[in-house]
Amino acid sequence: MNYNDFFEAKISDLHSEGRYRVFTDIERHAGKFPKATRWVGGEKSEVTVWCSNDYLCMGQNRRVLQTMHDVIDRCGAGAGGTRNISGTNHYHVLLEHELCDLHNKEAALVFTSGYVSNLAALCTLASKLPDCIVFSDEFNHASMIEGIRHSRAEKQIFRHNDPDDLERLLAAADPNRPKLIAFESVYSMDGDVAPIARYCDLAEKYGALTYLDEVHAVGLYGPRGGGIADQEGLMGRVDVIEGTLAKAFGCMGGYITASAAIVDFVRSYASAFIFTTALPPAVAAAAITSIQHLKVSAMERQRHQGVVAKVRRRLSDFGVNHMENPSHIVPVMVGDPVMCKQMSDDLLDHYGIYVQPINYPTVPRGTERLRITPSPMHSDEDIEHLARSLSAIWSHMNLKRAA
């Protein structure tokens, strides 16, 4: 076999479908978010980032940065080992305490990323529970899908955010088999929110465990930033809450929080937790500072929601279609991968606006979109420039405007 021809053919498939991924090379500037320098070859220009998941700009928070500096100087660069073999730094222990407190759970476990936490926890739970059935929302994140797939457990997919469909499946399943319901709170691409209370009711009725990915909600919702379950007073009813330290908390790493027994079980059996080096202590420490800050400061959340509302209003004023939802994510639907990429390129090249195109397989084909994520640091001028630039592209490309 000519291996190289094979790889090149697969890449050219992506080009012809218009969904070849091109990375935008940017240099963010702490203290100036959402502004960044864009590099093309040796050339640079200033751009405004409108697609970051550092939703609250905590990645430039002065206290977070100071902690990171201090702990690098105190503890060095890396953790020096897996958690089991010399890599458990005191800051990992403190971070896990902080997360227990955030979610009001008995225990927490930190992983190197949110992706790994889903992969490891779902795989371990679903593979070790004897004859487990996993009930999974059809729009769940790739990391959850992979974790379930690796477990080799039976998987039943329920319609997105549809508790009636879930109940239909639960009712038809053998009442004696262990069951795990896996879902997210805020879905990152449509920005819609799961009916968590309904799922908890069903879990109680049919004897299932609940597993909730709050990656796009932690830091952002709830009186202390514990997520949607915090906001709705449901944290105590969800068995496993999974989150990331990389989005609203602005750092890196993932975690689960749950009962002491569940966490100890995952800690003891999950390969993707056991056999990998722990997070750098400075990253763990910085995450603690970020979480602590957002527990007591609601200012970032309020400003964030204010900017989100303004962006929506201005886009509507210009007739630029965007999907309504109760969260902070503003999807501008395009519905075609080539056009989506073109719009993103135009925004970047002609208007200094960076919004990455979102194409298949991140979203279903035909629902390609520009996913706009406002932050508390976007100014009124930034918003105005975004709305006017999109409007200009709408005219240029002869697109239909919303009423």
Ligand X SMILES: *Cc1c(COP(=O)(O)O)cnc(C)c1O
- Within 154-253, strands assigned E span 154-158, 179-184, 208-213, 240-244
- H or E, element range at 332: strand 330-333
**Rounded distance, CA 311 to CA 123, Å?**
39
Q: What does the CA dihedral 262, 263, 266, 268 come to, rounded to 10 degrees?
A: -110
Q: Are 286 and 67 in contact (CB under 8 A)?
A: yes
Binding mask 235-254 for ligand X (x = CB under 6 A): ---------x-x-------x
Binding mask 14-33 for ligand X (x = CB under 6 A): --------------------
- 139 near ligand X (CB under 6 A): no
Nearer to ligand X, 53 or 127 (CB): 53
Tell me which of 48, 52, 143, 185 binds ligand X, using CB under 6 A.
Answer: 143
Nearer to ligand X, 216 or 378 (CB): 216
Binding mask 108-137 for ligand X (x = CB under 6 A): -----xxx--x-------------------
The residue number whose beta carbon is nearest to ligand X equals 114
Nearer to ligand X, 211 or 394 (CB): 211
Active-site annotation holds for 400: no
- Contact partners, residue 280, CB within 8 Å, separation at least 6: 77, 78, 79
Residues 183-222 within binding reach of ligand X (CB under 6 A) = 184, 188, 213, 215-216
Q: Are 50 and 391 in contact (CB under 8 A)?
A: no
CB of 227 to ligand X, least distance (A): 12
Pairing between β-strand 35-40 and β-strand 43-49 as defined by DSSP bridges: antiparallel
Nearer to ligand X, 38 or 216 (CB): 216
- 179 near ligand X (CB under 6 A): no
- Backbone dihedral angles phi then psi of residue 259, each to the nearest 5 degrees: -65, 160
CB of 317 to ligand X, least distance (A): 30
Nearer to ligand X, 121 or 246 (CB): 246
Instruction: Compute how many residues bind ligand X; rule: CB under 6 A.
Output: 14
For 259-277, the DSSP string reads -HHHHHHHHHH-HHHHTSB
Q: Encoding tokens for residue 45? A: 């220009």
- Tell the residue number behind the tokens 């204010």, with chain if given: 306
- 141 near ligand X (CB under 6 A): yes
Query: Of 247, 295, 310, 341, which one is the catalytic site residue?
Result: 247
CB of 264 to ligand X, least distance (A): 23
Residues 46-85 within binding reach of ligand X (CB under 6 A) = none
Q: Encoding tokens for residue 373? A: 């994520």
Nearer to ligand X, 70 or 146 (CB): 146
Nearer to ligand X, 166 or 215 (CB): 215
CB of 350 to ligand X, least distance (A): 30
Where b means 16+ CB within 10 Å and e means fewer, 163-195 reads bebbbebbeeeeeeebbbbbbbbbbbbbbbbbe
Residues 253-292 within binding reach of ligand X (CB under 6 A) = 254
Expressed in percent and rounded to 5, the helix, strand and coil fractions of the chain are: 45, 15, 35
**Rounded distance, CA 172 to CA 174, Å?**
7
- Contact partners, residue 387, CB within 8 Å, separation at least 6: 311, 314, 315, 317, 318, 320
CB of 293 to ligand X, least distance (A): 19
Q: Encoding tokens for residue 139? A: 């729009």
Nearer to ligand X, 114 or 219 (CB): 114
- Contact partners, residue 159, CB within 8 Å, separation at least 6: 138, 165
**Rounded distance, CA 389 to CA 92, Å?**
45
Q: Which residues are catalytic?
A: 247
Which residues contact ligand X (rule: CB under 6 A)?
Answer: 113-115, 118, 141, 143, 184, 188, 213, 215-216, 244, 246, 254
